[in-house]
Amino acid sequence: MDVKADHVIDARNSYCPGPLMEMIKAYKQAKVGEVISVYSTDAGTKKDAPAWIQKAGQELIGVFDRDGYYEIVMRKVK
Amino acid sequence: MSKTMSIVLASGTMDKIMAAGVITSGAVADGVDVNIFVTFWGLLKFRKNDNSINKLSYDGSEMSDIIMKKMSEKHIQGGIEMLRKAKEIGNVHVYGCALMSDVMDIKKDDLDPIVEDIIGVSQFVSMTEDSYNTLFI
């Protein structure tokens, strides 16, 4: 990933719906164009967060598997 | 105008309060506003410094010890904390039931600050007129 995140949320070891809530909170506070990265270990969020990003009409940069967790990266486009 | 969901939370067991918290979280994530009317056993658990025992409902009670242990190990958020988080990102309004408040001499200041007012049931029912669904938990 060559995109630098403006907001990094470490929501590892938090369970559904925690990481999604943290991501939406960051999204609400972010400016248009900013990138938000969420670290999570929760299985539900891996599906819920990309679905939310798509429904909200935002840009999903990617879901990246890391060592023992995964990272969801999105850009606020509007 | 966004959609509104209403919840009557009458139960005071952890699993039911958590269900209200989880559903409310999902709703605000989806842009849905939520009105919650907390009554009976539920209202008792919204008292500040509530010292009553946290327990699960009778359904599947043979599993209670295991579930309580796992929830504690994994630091699962309680239902009221979930509601607080949901309120940070969406429109969540929590009201205490006037009848139960009178029965138990509960004042607004005795309740968790997430409860914004004590209202009568007719006021709550009038709020549900604009809801696309109302859940009883």
Residues of the domain holding A47: 7-75
CA-CA distance, A41 to A18, in Å (whole number)?
A: 11
Query: CATH code at A56?
Result: 3.30.110.40
Q: What is the pLDDT of residue B1?
A: 67
- Does residue A2 lie in a domain region? no
Smallest Cα distance from B103 to chain A, Å: 35
Q: What is the pLDDT of residue A74?
A: 97
Percent of chain B residues past pLDDT 70, beyond the cut:
99
- Does residue A44 lie in a domain region? yes
Q: Tell me the pLDDT of chain A averaged across its residues.
A: 94
pLDDT band at A21 (very low <50, low <70, confident <90, very high): very high
Q: Tokens for B95? A: 């009201």
Q: Tell me the pLDDT of chain B averaged across its residues.
A: 93
The answer, yes or no, to whether residue B25 has pLDDT greater than 80, is yes
Task: Name the domain count of chain A.
Answer: 1
* Homologous superfamily assigned to B4-136: DsrEFH-like (3.40.1260.10)
CA-CA distance, B54 to B16, in Å (whole number)?
A: 11
Percent of chain B residues past pLDDT 90, beyond the cut:
80
pLDDT per residue as tens digits for the range B38-71: 999 999 999 998 878 788 888 878 888 899 899 9
Of residues A13, A14, A24, nearest to B29 (C-beta): A24
- Does residue A30 lie in a domain region? yes
Q: Which of B68, B2, B66, B51 is nearest to B31 (CA)?
A: B2
Burial of A12 per CB tally in 10 Å (0-12, 13-18, 19+) = middle
- Does residue A47 lie in a domain region? yes
Q: Helices (DSSP H) in chain B: which residue ranges?
A: 14-29, 40-45, 64-73, 79-89, 98-103, 121-128
The answer, yes or no, to whether residue B37 has pLDDT greater than 70, is yes
Pairing verdict, β A59-65 and B92-97: unpaired
pLDDT per residue as tens digits for the range B83-96: 999 999 999 999 99
Q: What is the pLDDT of residue A64?
A: 96
A78 Cβ under 8 Å from any chain B Cβ:
no
- Does residue A1 lie in a domain region? no
Q: What is the pLDDT of residue B20?
A: 98
**In the predicted model, what is the mean pLDDT of residues B97-123?**
95
Q: What is the pLDDT of residue B4?
A: 97
B26 Cβ under 8 Å from any chain A Cβ:
yes
Which residues in chain A have their CB less than 8 angstroms from residue B29's CB? 17, 20-21, 24, 48, 52
- Does residue A66 lie in a domain region? yes
